[in-house]
Amino acid sequence: MASETKRRSILGTLGLVAALAGGGGEAQDPYAREREAMLKEIEAMARDTGEETGRAVFSAGVMAAMARVPRQRFVPMSYAALAYANRPLPIGHGQTISQPYIVALMTELLDIDAGDTVLEIGTGSGYQAAVLAELTRHVYSIEIIEPVGKRAAALLSQLGYKNISTRIGDGYNGWPEHAPFDAIIVTAAAPQVPPALVTQLKPGGRMVIPVGADGEVQFLHVMVKQLDGTISTRRSLPVRFVPLTRSD
């Protein structure tokens, strides 16, 4: 019964997406079929990896956000036909847009609420920020590669996201002016967790970050800051992200 309820929820969201796109079907939303296939594959992967991640079923809110955000707008035009394939894609400057399942998983692991503020390290294409913005009050996103960050900021503004603030800078330092954050997500792999990000995480908050030195196996870490300031960490799936770079 639970899986059937979940299926109806996703299909209902897809109907809403098609309506917002200008009508009731594939003629108005040429990506409807690919988007639905993406959502089903995310669900299947969640079930397959549930023992490792602790999340065999993703929340209806996360799945609805994945359905609403137009991923084709966040990839280069030459890759538009693959926009909803469950795989990472290059976006230039040696960067990638993450696999949809990983975007959904990291969002799910944050356990964010509608009134939260979230810090994202690594704006990239802007896709992860857009998914987060569908679920929470405000997203602060930092990108170190200037042309990548400027392109993402322009696109997010064009798409009407008013609850995303972006800046160009070194993500290792976080964004202290807006700290503490209810949640922090890092979309590039660090050899160790930057201390500034731990400091800027609110007690009771969660951080999701891939950890692993360049050339080593990376693992997704879920960190929870306890009310007394101590950190508990759970290691999740092995992943592959571009490295988190520093400014000179």
Which residues carry out catalysis?
98
Q: Give Cα 87 to chain centroid, integer Å.
A: 14
Yes or no: say if 184 and 118 are a contact pair by the CB < 8 Å rule: yes
192-199 — which CB contacts under 8 Å span 24+ positions?
193/221, 193/223, 194/244, 196/172, 197/119, 197/121, 197/172, 198/223, 198/225, 198/231, 199/174
d(Cα 124, Cα 99) in Å, to the nearest integer? 13
